[in-house]
């Protein structure tokens, strides 16, 4: 390696910023010199102005979307881990229900959302969508984790006459923790996607106030700068979710799991 | 598995024990083994002779397909209050928690907690020379130290019988010699009984009061040698002509066992 670990870290932060610093002026200049109208491609400065001008509306919408995302994520986490534990403890439950969990996962959420909007009140339908999309990776990962115990450790627990509950609590769940956290990291991003998809589906039906609804609404009105501002907020929300979950992952695993250990050279 | 009273000198005895796995492999056939109170007995043999299987049957982790396992004391039977310590080939520690909690595990699973359990853990760690490492995580220790933690965990319940399945096979020779000496010290201090599985002639002779040589296909006892050199054994014994002679005889027995088992 030609760079020290420290220099490497600086590069990893500095290079993306340089790329952004180069790209934004080019974008701004291209729009101005090419006389491109803002409803075709708004320049970055205009998007920033719109973001500030429409902040109250956008912020309210962001809160609505984030609340749905958070609730969906929480339900997915509890439901996914809980169901995986039940599946692990009771084989017949796994055999009976797992295929349906797969069906729920492989059917595109965009296709399910309109149906849900017919049966459920709009906020509940949106929450349900966020949950459906986020739930499966938690279930699948936790199931994998619970089945990945060290066999010798399993024998050791058997040797000391451990009960099923002790095996679950002291062996299976800790062994599964890295897998669970990996599933949650995927679920965080997916619950945002689920919430947005459902809001867009609901938005076309004329209801809703989330960020995705703002995007759909701005689209109809050809208010492209506001559309971009809302999109920017969504991206930032996704990034924040991802890094928060990565932080939780790091804090929980840093002392023992390969994935979170500092490189020693 | 019938449990009867065995003669007072033996702590556990296997009579005609056979083990056939569901895939048809016969790991053991007609194995007779008598483990006597206080002895250090090694099971020596080539890979596939069923020595690990025999150890797992003694531990109650595997049921024999035929034959019986007889325990001297009712309470030594693995099904009741377990008086067995088991050390695996790998340290087999829980990576997610500290050395202290790893050694505490057997007590915790038996519902023993509090100061008394804490004192037992500290004593077990002292015994294997790991004072001051209670709060370390397994990742932070060397291979030899992890194996020490594993031994401390097996000792924490003060077992009557310590079963060890090639515990030092993955360690370098210097570490292995050091652990051999420390294991003998522990055995002497606790007056426990050890059944030690190994494929090293030199290790088995150095440690044991008796070496049981096994043959493969099917796994059975081929012969046994009494290593009647006095304890404590140390560097003097390791470099003595007596030790070399024991090793030569054991090697010859092993070579014959491998021929009898159709081994390479």
Do B175 and B145 share a structural domain? no
The whole-angstrom distance between B247's CA and the closest CA on chain A is 32
Average pLDDT for residues B136-153, to the nearest whole number?
95
Spell out which residues of chain A touch residue B90, defining contact as CB-CB under 8 Å. 152
Name the band, by pLDDT with cuts 50, 70 and 90, for residue A4. low
Instruction: Indicate whether A33 pLDDT > 90.
Output: yes
CATH number at residue B1: 3.40.50.300
Query: Is B124 within a domain?
Result: yes
Residues of B in contact with A255 (CB under 8 A): 137, 139
Residue B146 and residue B252 in one domain: no
> Can you give B81-135 as a three-state secondary structure string?
CCCEEEECCCCCCCCCCCHHHHHHHHHHHCCCCHHHHHHHHHHHHHHCCCCCCCC
For residue B110, the chain A residues in CB contact (below 8 A) are 160-161
Residues B175 and B259 reside in one and the same domain: yes
Tell me the nearest-neighbour CA distance from B198 into chain A, angstroms.
Answer: 18
Instruction: Pick from A149, A156, A173 the residue to mutate for testing the B interface (most B CBs within 10 Å).
Output: A156
CB contact under 8 A, A159 and B82: yes
Q: What mean pLDDT comes out for the span A63-68?
A: 92
CB B199 within 8 A of CB B48: no
Residues of B within an 8 Å Cβ radius of A = 56, 59-61, 78, 82, 84, 86, 88-90, 92, 94-97, 105-106, 108-110, 137-139, 157
Q: How close does chain A come to B107, measured CA to CA in Å? A: 9
Distance, in Å, from the CA atom of A143 to the CA atom of A87, rounded to the nearest integer, reads: 8
Minimum-distance CB partner of A256 among B105, B139, B157:
B139
Q: Answer whether residue B14 is part of any domain.
A: yes
Same structural domain for residues B203 and B174?
Answer: yes
Q: Does residue B111 share a domain with residue B61?
A: no
Give the list of residues 6+ apart from residue B12 with CB closer than 8 angstroms, or none: B6, B35, B58, B69, B70, B71, B72, B76, B161
In Å, how far is A161's CA from the nearest CA of chain B?
A: 7
- Sequence-separated (6 or more) residues with CB below 8 Å from residue A90: none
Nearest CA in chain B to A178: B96
Confidence of residue B257 (pLDDT cuts 50, 70, 90): very high
Which of B56, B59, B82 is nearest residue A161 as measured by Cβ atoms?
A: B82
Same domain, B197 and B264: yes
Q: What are phi and psi of B71, to 5 degrees?
A: -110, 140
Give chain A positions within 8 Å (CB) of B109.
157, 160-162, 166, 170
For chain A, give every domain's residue range: 1-36, 39-260
Residue B64: predicted pLDDT:
94
Distance from CA of B229 to the nearest CA of A (A): 34
Domain annotation covers residue B163: no
**Which of A175, A180, A255 is best to mutate for the B interface (most B CBs within 10 A)?**
A255
Residue B13: inside a domain:
yes
- Look-up: residue for tokens 């984790």? A145
* Same domain (yes/no): B62, B191: yes
Q: Is residue B206 part of a domain?
A: yes
| B38/B50 same-domain check | yes
Q: What is the CATH number of domain A39-260?
A: 1.10.3720.10
Contact: B86, A255; criterion CB under 8 Å: no
Number of domains, chain B: 2
Task: Give me the domain span that covers residue B91.
Answer: 84-158
* Each residue's pLDDT tens digit, B99-139: 999 999 999 998 888 888 999 999 999 999 999 999 999 99
Q: Are residues B43 and B109 in the same domain?
A: no
Confidence tier at A3 by pLDDT (50, 70, 90): low
B255 and B184, same domain (yes or no): yes
Same-domain status, B133 and B75: no
Same domain, B72 and B187: yes
Write down the mean pLDDT value for chain A: 90
Q: Say what the pLDDT of residue B74 is.
A: 55
What ipTM was estimated for this complex? 0.89
Find the residue in B nearest to A167 (Cα). B109
In three state form, how does the secondary structure of chain B look?
Answer: CCCCCCCCCEEEEEEEEEEECCCCCEEEEEEEEEEECCCEEEEECCCCCCHHHHHHHHHCCCCCCEEEEEECCHHHCCCCCCCEEEECCCCCCCCCCCHHHHHHHHHHHCCCCHHHHHHHHHHHHHHCCCCCCCCCCHHHCCHHHHHHHHHHHHHCCCCCEEEEECCCCCCCHHHHHHHHHHHHHHHHHHCCEEEEEECCHHHHHHHCCEEEEEECCCEEEEEEEECCCCCCCCHHHHCCHHHHHHHHHHHHHHHHHHHHCCCC
**Where does a domain end: B109, B138, B158?**
B158
Buried b (16+ CB within 10 A) or exposed e, A37-74: ebeeebbbebbbebbeebeeebeebbebbbebbbbbbe
Asked if B82 and A261 come within 8 Å (Cβ–Cβ), the reply is: no
Question: Which residues of chain B make contact with A257, given a CB cutoff of 8 A?
Answer: 95-96
A159, B92: Cβ pair inside 8 Å? Answer: no
Is position B165 within any domain?
A: no
**Number of neighbours of residue A33 by Cβ within 10 angstroms:** 8
Per-residue pLDDT reduced to its tens digit, A71-82: 999 999 999 999
pLDDT in tens, B42-76: 999 988 889 999 999 999 999 999 999 988 765 54
Min Cα distance A260 → chain B (Å) is: 12
Q: Which residues, other chains included, contact B60 with Cβ-Cβ below 8 Å and sequence gap of 6+?
A: A159, B77, B78, B79, B84
Contact between B79 and B26 (Cβ < 8 Å): no
Of chain B, the percentage scoring pLDDT greater than 90 comes to 75
């Amino acid at each position: 390696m030609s760079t020290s670990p420290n220099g490497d870290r600086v590069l990893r932060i500095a290079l993306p910023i340089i790329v952004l610093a180069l790209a934004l002026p080019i974008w701004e200049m291209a729009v101005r010199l090419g006389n491109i109208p803002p409803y075709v491609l708004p320049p970055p400065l205009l998007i920033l102005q719109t973001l500030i001008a429409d902040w109250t509306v956008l912020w309210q919408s962001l809160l609505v979307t984030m609340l749905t995302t958070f609730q969906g994520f929480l339900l997915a986490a509890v439901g996914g881990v809980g169901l995986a534990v039940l599946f692990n403890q009771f084989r017949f439950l796994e055999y009976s229900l797992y295929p349906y969990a797969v069906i729920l996962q492989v059917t595109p959420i965009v296709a399910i959302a309109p149906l849900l909007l017919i049966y459920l009140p709009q906020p509940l339908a949106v929450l349900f969508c966020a949950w459906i999309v986020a739930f499966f990776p938690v279930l699948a990962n936790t199931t994998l984790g619970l089945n990945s115990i060290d066999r010798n450790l399993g024998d050791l627990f058997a040797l000391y006459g451990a009960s099923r509950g002790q095996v679950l609590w002291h062996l299976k769940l800790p062994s599964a923790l890295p897998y669970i956290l990996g599933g949650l990291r995927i679920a965080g991003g997916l619950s945002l996607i689920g919430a947005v998809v459902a809001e867009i589906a609901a938005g076309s039906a004329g209801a809703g106030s989330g960020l995705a609804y703002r995007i759909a609404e701005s689209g109809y009105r050809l208010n492209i700068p506001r559309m971009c501002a809302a999109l920017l907020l969504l991206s930032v929300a996704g990034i924040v979710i991802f890094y928060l979950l990565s932080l939780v992952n790091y804090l929980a695993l840093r002392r023992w799991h390969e994935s979170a250990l500092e490189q020693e050279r | 598995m019938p449990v009867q009273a065995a003669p007072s000198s033996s702590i556990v005895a296997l009579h005609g024990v056979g083990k056939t796995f569901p895939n048809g492999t016969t790991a053991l056939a007609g194995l007779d083994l008598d483990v006597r109170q206080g002895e250090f007995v090694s099971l020596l043999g080539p890979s596939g002779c069923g020595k690990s299987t025999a150890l797992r049957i003694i531990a109650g982790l595997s049921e024999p397909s035929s034959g019986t396992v007889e325990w001297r004391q009712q309470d030594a039977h693995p099904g009741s209050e377990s008086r067995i310590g088991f050390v695996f080939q790998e340290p087999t520690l829980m990576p997610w928690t500290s050395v202290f909690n790893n050694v505490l595990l057997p007590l915790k699973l038996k519902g023993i907690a509090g100061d008394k359990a804490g004192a037992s853990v500290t004593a077990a760690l002292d015994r294997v020379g790991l004072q001051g490492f209670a709060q370390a995580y397994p990742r932070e220790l060397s291979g030899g130290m992890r194996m020490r933690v594993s031994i401390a965990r097996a000792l924490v319940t003060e077992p009557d019988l310590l079963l060890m399945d090639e515990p030092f096979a993955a360690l370098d020779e210097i570490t292995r010699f050091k652990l051999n000496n420390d294991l003998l010290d522990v055995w002497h201090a606790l007056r426990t009984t050890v059944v030690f599985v190994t494929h090293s002639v030199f290790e088995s002779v150095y440690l044991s009061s008796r070496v049981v040589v096994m043959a493969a296909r099917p796994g059975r006892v081929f012969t046994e040698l009494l290593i009647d050199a006095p304890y404590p054994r140390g560097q003097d014994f390791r470099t003595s002509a007596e030790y070399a002679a024991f090793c030569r005889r054991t090697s010859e027995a092993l070579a014959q066992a491998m021929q009898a088992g159709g081994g390479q």
